[in-house]
Structure 1
Amino acid sequence: MPEFDILCFGETMTMFVADEPGNLQHVQHFNKRIAGADSNVAIGFARLGFQVAWLSRVGDDSFGRFILDTLQREKVDCRHVAVDPQHRTGFQMKSREIDGSDPHVEYFRRGSAASYLSPADVHENLLRAKHLHATGIPPALSPTAHELSRHLLTSMRAAGHTISFDPNLRPSLWPSPERMIETINSLAVLADWVMPGLAEGRLLTGYDKPADIAAFYLDQGVKAVAIKLGPEGAYYRSAAGEGVVPGVPVSNVVDTVGAGDAFAVGLVSALLEGFELPQALARGNDFGSRAVQSIGDMEGLPYRHELIEPAQRQLA
């Protein structure tokens, strides 16, 4: 079995995107794609040439086979995806917006195959990956998926491998806001790099300013914090300093879903390649700007040959 550069894990769903704008109840035609924050990031890393292992579960159904076909075409290693004959693959429906606003998404995922993820799904080979990317979605799916998240973060941390964590809050999946905040923060502080959105950071820490949000995590052992500020760019803070990297202007926003995942791909890939934080955030902002110009959650993620480092443009 090979060793991997990056391990990602979580739930991928089949997604039906409306072909025309309007309330979903009136839409007649949809386009079938895949969706899932964690697998979006896995695809993004694979497009940049990283060897990426994907840990998940899908149902033994057409949705599950569609997901596996799509991920494998993207060169994501799916050998550690279990096909569950007893539980179905989750799916979602997403509206089409034409004014740049966030689309409406309806989820059909309760009791899905991925919610049965557990530490028993982890092959020891996966723990040899050089980097783990985690989000706050798997621990919200079920108690066993929460156990899996904690097992992976603690194991990779103990092994000295780097970890990135995106809170990716899904309040509707949690029994209470208090449980969500407590659980997410307890996992985030196991990571090296934490990347909340500004609203997420405020909810999770109780602080308003980016510097204070970052300090909350830095004081508990996180090495660097990047806070997504939307069109304004991103704020960063580490022991070496702090600052804001401006966003990339976009004239036509098509679909905002997936922008945070694209930012994570840009930021983390650059850090893994040895970039300093400001340059890494510049790549993250660039990737985020590409994502919002494409329909679908991962279609705008660039390939390695399409990279023109925003850091190079800024310093030219």
Structure 2
Amino acid sequence: MTLFVVASFIQACCWSVTRLPQAGESVAASAVSSEPGGKGFNVAIAASRLGAQVSALLGVGEDAAADAALQLLQQHAITPVYAYRLASQSGHGAGLIAADGANMISVYLGPNQLITATHVDHAQASIQSASLVYAQFETSLAAIQHSFALARQAGRQTVLNPSPWQPIPQAVLSQTAILIVNQHEAAQLLAWSAELLAVSPEDTLIALRQAMHAFYQQWPGDLLVVTLGALGSVAMTQAGEWVVAPAWPVTAVDTLGAGDAFSAGLCVALMHGEPLAQALAHANACGACVVQTPGVLAALPDMLAVAAIQRQCGTTPLA
């Protein structure tokens, strides 16, 4: 079983601050870090650590950051890697991380957006032999659309995380079998209000369930998943199965990368044929591993780390 990732590479630079600044305000940082990252890169690394066979497609720069990223993919036995040096500088991101785990991020995508359908064609054999093909929106839409089309031609399932958010083109949405969104993306996609979650979780979950059901009237996909941060995650299938998976009770220090770990965990669990409830719980545990420590790369879990979370919190997640 192989996961093919239509990936992205971003050299992630993060500053730790007491609180996020207001517009026009400067705040002092207590620490700074720089490490290889990017939504697709993180998913590929995380899935490999969770035991999956992984292959990937990505655009990088002619710089030392790209050299380090490609070496790291090699160290994780991610192969084949279809890497194209399409610009002088790789993608870069700047993040501010507050003491409560809240964050603000700006991303320069650079060569990630220069991947074309021709580049995808070189990876056709890997795409069409994969169990799942995963993509996110730090990569060019042309690459995602063509990758998904090739995958669906071969009867493979496709997974999309439309982050950073932008409206999903119909040509991509119609080829997507599994859709993973966070609560903010769900508000855009489903015309659902996430603001009341903190006030009345039960009522807003009822509204979310109705919005997800209505979305299936315009989407032929198989599975819609919404992550809800500290409230866990929910999912609905085309057949109407509804699953709520509460979050594991951990203290969040840094939420960067949690969504990528969740996506990787969900993909790996689904490839292993886990029932939906167990797959969501596993994905929640992967996200919980990441939020407990600063940074992303070192925090992306392996199966031992996931098992440790489950032992720490009990055999089932707690509300």
Q: Measure how far apart 1:245 and its partner are.
A: 1.2
> What displacement does 1:96 show?
3.6
Q: Which sections of structure 1, spanning at least 5 residues, go unmatched?
A: 139-144, 171-179
5 Å-filtered alignment, 1:6-85, equals 6-18=3-15, 21=18, 27=29, 30-77=32-79, 79-84=81-86
- What is the CA deviation profile of residues 52-103 of structure 1, one whole-angstrom value per residue up to 9, with x for unaligned ones? 111011111112112212222233236311123x4321212222421222x2
Unaligned runs of 5+ in 2: 194-206
- Change in Cα spacing, 1:79 to 1:279, as seen in structure 2 (3 Å) is closer
Moved more, 271-280 or 234-243: 234-243
Counterpart-to-counterpart distance in 2, 1:100 and 1:207: 25
Task: Provide the rounded CA distance (Å) in 2 between the counterparts of 1:276 and 1:214.
Answer: 20
Verify the 8 A CA contact 1:255 1:291 in the aligned structure 2: yes
Q: Are the equivalent residues in 2 in contact too, given 1:167–1:188 (CA < 8 A)? A: no
- What SS does the aligned partner of 1:69 have? helix
Q: 1:9 is matched by which residue type in structure 2?
A: V
Separation (CA, whole Å) in 1 of partners of 2:304 and 2:28: 41
Moved more, 16-25 or 187-196: 16-25
1:299 aligned counterpart, secondary structure:
helix
Instruction: Point out the more displaced range, 279-288 or 231-240.
Output: 231-240
- For the residue of structure 2 that corresponds to 1:196, the secondary structure is strand
- Aligned pair partner of 1:188 in 164, 169, 173: 173
User: In the alignment, which residue of structure 2 is the partner of 1:113?
Assistant: 111
* Distance change >3 Å, CA 186–CA 198, structure 1 → 2: farther
1:232/1:181 CA distance change after superposition, 3 Å:
same
Instruction: Give the superposed CA RMSD.
Output: 2.6
**Residue 223 (structure 1) aligned with residue 218 (structure 2):** no
Matched with 2:211 is 213
Shift of the alpha carbon at 1:131? Answer: 1.3
* Mapped partners of 2:136, 2:310: distance in 1: 26
Task: Show structure 1 runs of 4+ deviating over 6 A.
Answer: 22-25
Is 1:298 aligned to 2:297, yes or no?
A: yes
Q: How far apart are residue 130 of structure 1 and its match?
A: 2.1
The residue aligned with 2:200 is: none
- Note the 1:261-280 alignment, pairs <5 A: 261-280=260-279
Percent identity between the two aligned chains: 22
The CA deviation string for residues 177-200 of structure 1, in whole angstroms up to 9 with x for no partner, is xxx3252x5423422221111221
Q: What is the rounded CA distance, in whole Å, between the counterparts of 1:13 and 1:169 in structure 2?
A: 13
TM-score, length of structure 2 as denominator length:
0.82
In the other structure, the counterpart of 1:164 is 159
CA contact 1:133–1:164 (8 Å) conserved in 2 = yes
Gap change, CA 1:61 and 1:215, over 3 Å in 2: same
Instruction: Please say if residues 131 and 156 of structure 2, whose CA atoms lie closer than 8 Å, have aligned partners that are also in contact.
Output: yes
Tell me which amino acid in the other structure corresponds to 2:276. L
Does structure 1 conserve the Cα–Cα contact (< 8 Å) formed by 2:14 and 2:32? yes
TM-score of the superposition, structure 1-length normalised?
0.83
Paired with 1:28 and 1:116, the residues of 2 have a C-alpha distance of 36
Name the count of aligned residue pairs: 291
Q: CA deviation at 1:148?
A: 1.2
Check the 8 A contact 2:213/2:240 in 1, yes or no.
Answer: no
